[in-house]
Chains A and B, each alone.
Chain A
Amino acid sequence: KQEVTQIPAALSVPEGENLVLNCSFTDSAIYNLQWFRQDPGKGLTSLLLIQSSQREQTSGRLNASLDKSSGRSTLYIAASQPGDSATYLCAVPLYNNNDMRFGAGTRLTVKP
């Protein structure tokens, strides 16, 4: 059974810091892994999708890595800004294609 865990649950950093969010999954047989951002009271915005054959994906100040064998993914945010404050969720689709397992998220606060 696929379990997705995100550490830490909450993180507070001063503006300008580089930071790493962690996501781990128990079953390494995944199609891909997706990172989302969720603002309070809002929906999910897709940030990055890493296919199982890829090691990393980059978008602007965001870099996501994937290590299937160890069941881990990290989201690296460079030069954090107050606008980055949100909850970051990682998710993996199951092989049956019907379910997407989400972590509980990391709530990030970037202080000006």
Chain B
Amino acid sequence: NAGVMQNPRHLVRRRGQEARLRCSPMKGHSHVYWYRQLPEEGLKFMVYLQKENIIDESGMPKERFSAEFPKEGPSILRIQQVVRGDSAAYFCASSPPDRGNTEAFFGQGTRLTVV
């Protein structure tokens, strides 16, 4: 079991470009969560997805940000027209369906730098 895989590990984008972050959950996990960590801060929830469904996107900015978890392939967090304030580490976690009493497993994160 390779664990939660995120790529790329580091991503540099110029202001106005698009950023695509990918997350492959652990084998057997059907739930994916995205978090953002700003420098010197804790992790903040963004969005929770199951296969082909967004369950909760209450933590995700309404504009420029979108997420998907297709039937086949990794979950994608997409940021359009990036701005300097988007620079952060983006982490993905996965869990089996019964999240409440289970351990959360995180990927290594994607560090986005907007220049």
Given contacts A89-B42, A99-B59, contact A44 B100 (CB under 8 A): no
Interface-located stretch among A64-72, A75-83, A101-109: A101-109
- Chain B contacts for A32, CB-based, 8 A: 100-101
Interface size class, chain A: 20 to 34
Minimum CB–CB distance from A91 to chain B (whole Å) comes to: 8
Cβ-closest chain A residue relative to B59: A99
Digitize A84-112: 1 where CB-to-B-CB distance is under 8 Å, 0 elsewhere: 00000101010111111111110000000
- Chain B contacts for A62, CB-based, 8 A: none
Instruction: Name A49's contact: one of B41, B91, B103, B109 (CB within 8 Å).
Output: B103
A34 CB-CB contact with B under 8 Å: yes
Minimum CB–CB distance from B8 to chain A (whole Å) comes to: 14
Q: Which of A34-66 contact B (CB under 8 A)?
A: 34, 36, 41-46, 49, 51
- Chain A contacts for B42, CB-based, 8 A: 4, 89, 102-105
Digitize A22-33: 1 where CB-to-B-CB distance is under 8 Å, 0 elsewhere: 000000000110
Assess whether A100 is in contact with B109, with CB atoms less than 8 Å apart.
no
- Chain A contacts for B105, CB-based, 8 A: 46
Minimum CB–CB distance from A100 to chain B (whole Å) comes to: 6
Instruction: Report the separation of the CA atoms of residues A31 and B103 in the bound assembly, to the nearest whole angstrom.
Output: 11
Instruction: Name B91's contact: one of A41, A43, A93 (CB within 8 Å).
Output: A43
Instruction: Name B45's contact: one of A34, A41, A100, A105 (CB within 8 Å).
Output: A100
- Chain B contacts for A104, CB-based, 8 A: 40-42
- Chain A contacts for B104, CB-based, 8 A: 34, 46, 91, 93, 100
- Chain B contacts for A4, CB-based, 8 A: 42
Enumerate chain A interface residues (CB-CB to B < 8 A). 4, 31-32, 34, 36, 41-46, 49, 51, 89, 91, 93, 95-105
**25 interchain pairs, CB-CB under 8 A:** A31-B100, A32-B101, A34-B104, A36-B106, A43-B6, A43-B91, A43-B107, A43-B109, A44-B43, A44-B91, A44-B106, A45-B106, A46-B104, A46-B106, A51-B101, A89-B43, A93-B104, A98-B58, A99-B48, A99-B58, A100-B43, A101-B45, A102-B35, A102-B44, A105-B42
